[in-house]
Structure 1
Amino acid sequence: MKKSYTLLGVGLALSTLLGSCASSYRSIRPETLQYNFKETSPEDNLSISYVYDGLALRNNKKYVKRETRNAIKIVAVKIENNSATKISVGQDCRFMMGDRVLMPMEPQVAAKLIKQPVPIYLLYALLNFSVGGTQDPSGNVSGATFIPTGPFIAGGNMIVASSANANMHKELIGNNIMAKSIDPGQTAFGILCLRETTSGPLKIVLNKVAIHKE
């Protein structure tokens, strides 16, 4: 019995693979989000608004999966300084969830944990195809045209994943709220990286030490 191998089969195989392909990174851009949760500290004249699901809102599905798997929360925040004094977020403030003081992660560490793995896409190099051949009763195929699609698929996915990881790393570090200072009456947007399994209410308070004055 003869069996034809057509481009249709190739197309079906490729469509199956697409579900596990690398994905690009869509920036969170904290300053563009709508903040529905806000906590104010009247004593310190500070307020924080926050969004826990920034990665999900931007449809970064692969990063959301790794965020959940590693018990990490990538939180977009908006901090308003209504005091008469300039504050340095990392030095002068602490974040709390209920009565518990939070220890923010370094963005470099968070980025390393949630990044897409790149070397695994080398496996695509094995996925080559033969088109147009016929199979005899003994199972031998003849007359097929070999198409080395694997290396191209592997290379493309590795490039996409590497670029996406670089963009994610750049955004987490560039928007690190812990590295920002806020002048009196001003607002700062940024990203707070937490090692947490829950998405509880956040608040920001001043450390009871001398803070910056200009």
Structure 2
Amino acid sequence: MKLTTIIFLLSIVILLNSCASVYKPIQPASLNYISNNTLHGVTLEYKYDLLNKKYAKKETKKGLRLVAVKVKNNTEKDLVFGKDIKLNFESGNELYLLENERTFKSLKQSPASYLFYLLLSPIQLFTKKTNSNGMTEQTSSTPIGLIIGPGLALGNMIVASNANKKFKTELNDYSINGKIIKKGETVFGLITFQSDNYGAIKVRVE
């Protein structure tokens, strides 16, 4: 196998592994929560490790943690998450939540980045045959890159854009900061904060 063919095949493999990721909905209300703690009538349950593929890689790279939470208010009064109900790290330091827009901008895919697939446009498929003198000669060429390049670019841009839209919608649907949790009510949400680990989270009631 010629070196140029090997390089071409390796390039294709690398490019295909760089494809856009679909967004897998988190659906906090349907998760199985294991970690939990209770304080003054408020129970917090939470779950890390929610994102998939490119979103998960960005979460790690940016030092962020997107966490699903389940909060039950067993007190005799309504409480506001972020005001009456706050979160701490196990060390006792307060956990500061990021706004949804910052979370989205930090973790979203960049559809425009998939334009690099257009670099495949010059690729041509050559057909060769051996003539009567035993010499190999080119008989035709097909510009397959004009189909592969734009096709992959457009396809990945659409996938990334749709995934980002679903991600942003779910962040907004499960926005919990500032939400009033009525007495006896259980709510689900998504929160994001800066952290390089998966430390325990404690509920604090004020």
Residue of structure 2 in register with 1:211 after alignment: none
Q: Kindly state the Cα deviation for residue 10 of structure 1 after the two structures are TM-superposed.
A: 8.5
Alpha-carbon contact 1:134-1:144 (below 8 Å) kept: no
Runs of 5+ unmatched residues, structure 2: 131-135
Counterpart for residue 170 of structure 2 = 171
183-192 or 142-151, larger mean C-alpha shift: 142-151
Cα deviation, residue 90, structure 1: 2.7
Q: What is the identity percentage for the equivalent residue pairs of Structure 1 and Structure 2?
A: 36
Q: Secondary structure at the residue paired with 1:177?
A: coil
Consecutive unaligned residues of structure 1, counting only runs of 5 or more, are: 208-214
Match 2:24 to one of 23, 26, 44: 26
Partner of 1:101 in structure 2?
A: 94
Among residues 121, 140, 143, which one is paired with 2:140 in the alignment?
143
SS at match of 2:124: strand
- CA deviation digits over 1:20-65, x for unaligned, max 9? 1001101111111110100110xx210100001122xxxx111111
Q: How does 1:59-138 map to 2 (within 5 A)?
A: 60-98=52-90, 99-128=92-121, 129-134=123-128
Deviation (angstroms), 1:203: 1.6
Displacement of 1:115: 1.1
Deviation at 1:103, TM superposition (A): 0.8
Per-residue CA deviations over 1:85-108 (Å, capped at 9, x if unaligned) read: 111213322110121111100011
Higher alpha-carbon deviation: 29-38 or 173-182: 173-182
> Which one-letter code corresponds to 2:93 in the other structure?
R
Hey, which bits of structure 1, 4+ residues long, moved more than 4 A? Answer: 9-16, 139-142
Output one character per residue of 1:172-212: Cα deviation in whole Å (capped at 9) or x when no partner: 122112142211111111111111112111122222xxxxx
Judge conservation of contact 2:126–2:140 (CA < 8 Å) in 1. Answer: yes
Which letter does structure 2 place at the counterpart of 1:18? L
Using structure 2 for the length normalisation, give the TM-score. 0.85
Residues 108-144 of structure 1 show CA distances to partners (whole Å, capped at 9, x for unaligned) of 10111111122211010121332243399xx995510
Residue 51 (structure 1) aligns with:
47
Matched AA of 2:163: A
Look up the equivalent residue of 1:67 and give its one-letter code: E
What's the TM-score once normalised by structure 1's chain length?
A: 0.82
Taking the aligned partners of 2:77 and 2:111, their CA distance within structure 1 comes to 46
Contact kept, 8 Å, 1:180 with 1:188, in 2: the verdict is no
Paired residue secondary structure (2:17):
helix
How many residues end up aligned between the 2 structures?
193
